[in-house]
């Protein structure tokens, strides 16, 4: 219930949140966005039209200077020049992550799919009429731009995004563990009731047999449903993707494959660092314990971590 409560009540990182505004201010200081970005009214137009109304916030460079050290880890957002250089290094390196795919032809091995845009560059969201950070997407249900949006969850009554994804993941983890534990506890009593065998257990009173059977059936049903969703998000976490990015990457991969080129996920840093980016760099068993700590760093991987250099997997 702890993770469910925080997933429901935590702002995922919408464009009107303080976390989003801090990222915009840091981007202006770092030179990723023009100074007049802070003057843009990012209120949502209900018709989805671009409203260019502005207001003067009276922000100067000296006021924004303390933002350089904002956050617990004192990380300064890298500039576009650094991002372009790193992105170029990643695109031209002869080796890629293990999950990269390349068609098995001599001609294609020396080709790569050049990204149409810098995956670490900021853009402009027409719906919210404001800056659009990397990995951010507009949610049509809440009509808000969300940092590292994964999906809108009707069971959570909230968008699952950068600031509450860890709560969502841990909710699935512990719900799955709980159902497996309940199944193991009721398995042999259920078999004893249905098979009419003792299995070394004491005689189960008739009044409790229906309760045990019902509990076992419900837990098995929930465990099957949760398993698909939980292990899906395990895969997404370890591969450095969100649900939205998975379909975008799949489409890009198929398009690159059709042209005999290579495609790789620019946010994939390897299993370990992908996990740390979501769960933190603590010990594994500590990272899965309930905690209301804030996510560290940015919604996109810190550029001080470089993708793991491994051989390309051939199809």
The whole-number pLDDT of residue 179 equals 93
Alpha helices for the chain (secondary structure H):
2-9, 18-30, 61-64, 80-92, 165-195, 206-238, 243-258, 271-279, 284-287
| The predicted structure's pLDDT at residue 255 | 87
Alpha carbon separation from 210 to 124, 204, 260 (Å, rounded): 59, 11, 60
pTM comes to 0.70
Q: Which one of 7, 125, 153, 219 is the catalytic residue? A: 153
Greatest pairwise CA separation for the chain in angstroms: 79
Q: DSSP per residue over 236-276, as a string?
A: HHHTT--HHHHHHHHHHHHHHHHTT--B--TT---HHHHHH
- How confident is the model at residue 100, as a pLDDT? 33
pLDDT digits (tens, 9 = 90+) for 41-58: 544 444 444 443 333 334
pLDDT of amino acid 64: 42
For residue 300, which of 147, 114, 126 has the smallest C-alpha distance?
147
pLDDT digits 0-9 by tens, 276-302: 888 887 788 888 888 888 887 888 886
Residues of the chain with pLDDT under 50: 42-78, 82-115, 304-315
Asked about 219 being catalytic, the answer comes back as no
Domain ranges of the chain: 2-314
Are the C-beta atoms of residues 38 and 87 closer than 8 Å to each other? no
């Amino acid at each position: 219930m702890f993770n469910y409560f925080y997933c429901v009540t935590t702002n995922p990182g919408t464009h009107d949140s303080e976390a989003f505004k801090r990222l915009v201010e840091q981007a202006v200081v770092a030179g990723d966005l023009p100074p007049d970005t802070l003057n843009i009214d990012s209120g949502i137009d209900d018709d989805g039209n671009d409203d260019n109304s502005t207001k003067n916030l009276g922000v100067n460079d000296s006021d924004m200077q303390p933002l350089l050290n904002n956050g617990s880890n004192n990380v300064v957002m890298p500039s576009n020049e650094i991002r372009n250089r790193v992105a170029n290094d990643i695109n031209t390196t002869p080796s890629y992550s293990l999950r990269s795919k390349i068609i098995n032809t001599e001609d294609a091995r020396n080709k790569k799919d050049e990204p149409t845009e810098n995956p670490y560059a900021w853009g402009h969201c027409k719906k919210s009429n404001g800056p659009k950070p990397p990995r951010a997407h507009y949610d049509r249900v809440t009509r808000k731009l969300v940092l590292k949006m994964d999906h809108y969850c009707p069971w959570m009554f909230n968008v699952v995004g950068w600031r509450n994804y860890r709560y969502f993941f841990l909710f699935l983890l512990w719900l799955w563990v709980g159902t497996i534990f309940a199944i193991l506890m009721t398995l042999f009593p259920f078999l004893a009731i249905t098979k009419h065998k003792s299995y070394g257990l004491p005689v189960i009173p008739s009044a409790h047999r229906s309760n045990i059977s019902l509990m076992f059936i419900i837990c098995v049903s929930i465990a099957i449903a949760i398993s698909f969703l939980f292990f899906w998000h395990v895969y997404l976490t370890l591969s450095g993707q969100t649900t939205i990015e998975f379909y975008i990457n799949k489409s890009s991969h198929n398009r690159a494959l059709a042209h005999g080129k290579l495609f790789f996920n620019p946010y994939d840093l390897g299993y370990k660092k992908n996990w740390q980016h979501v769960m933190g760099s603590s010990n594994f068993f500590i990272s899965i314990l309930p905690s209301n700590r804030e996510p560290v760093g940015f919604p996109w991987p810190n550029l001080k971590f470089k993708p793991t250099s491994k051989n390309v997997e051939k199809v």
